[in-house]
Amino acid sequence: MRYWGFDHRSHLGTIVVNVSAVTAIRIVFRDLRRARFPVRRVRPVTAYGASDSRSVRHDNTSAFNCRYAVAAGPKHWSEHAFGEAVDLDPFENPYVLNGKVLPHSAARYADRNTPRPGVILTDGPAVRAFTSVGWGWGGDWSNPDYQHFSVNGR
């Protein structure tokens, strides 16, 4: 997968998705690259020992990861476990669960009023790219997960 980096250069990465999502993700990354939306890195979570927290600490954009959802309530599989979700630039786009910013070190990025490189905004290129292929954005949730996009919006 080609993507535009924070260093203003094109890079090649690997993202693992469900076969049903391949065409959509190719379109999304093409659109992100054309818009020069910066992505830190794109590697399978297995490059981080299948640890979501390690992958996030490296600001890694990823998709498939057989894990439970990080959410309140009973345990259930994440959409990532089905290869039908992507977390894009997770440091610049944290998850805010009940007022707690995840990852903690990304607290300054919870303020969505300050445009910065890699920050996903409602009217920005990342949301446009994913919604153009019918995917939903976690930034619209009551506990916003700004990095999260999925086939079914969950």
Residue partners of 142: CB distance under 8 A and separation at least 6? none
pLDDT at residue 71, as a whole number: 83
Per-residue pLDDT averaged across 141-148, rounded? 97
Identify the DSSP state of 22. H
> How far are the Cα atoms of 40, 50, 60, 63, 98 from residue 43, in angstroms, in the given order?
10, 11, 7, 9, 29
Is pLDDT at 11 greater than 80 in this prediction? Answer: yes
Per-residue pLDDT averaged across 32-61, rounded? 97
pLDDT at residue 115, as a whole number: 87
* CA gap 40, 59 in Å, rounded: 6
Residue 35 exposed, middle or buried by CB count within 10 Å (0-12, 13-18, 19+): middle
Per-residue pLDDT averaged across 129-152, rounded? 97
- The C-alpha torsion from 151 through 122 and 102 to 83, rounded to 10°, is 10
User: If pLDDT is split at 50, 70 and 90, which confidence band does 123 have?
Assistant: very high
Per-residue pLDDT averaged across 28-41, rounded? 98
Tokens of residue 77, six digits:
């599989």
* CA gap 130, 4 in Å, rounded: 16
Note the pLDDT tens digit of each residue in 54-100.
999 999 999 999 999 988 789 999 999 999 999 999 999 999 999 99
* CA gap 91, 10 in Å, rounded: 20
Identify the DSSP state of 148. E
Domain spans in the chain, listed from the N-terminal domain onward: 2-68+76-150
Per-residue pLDDT averaged across 110-138, rounded? 96
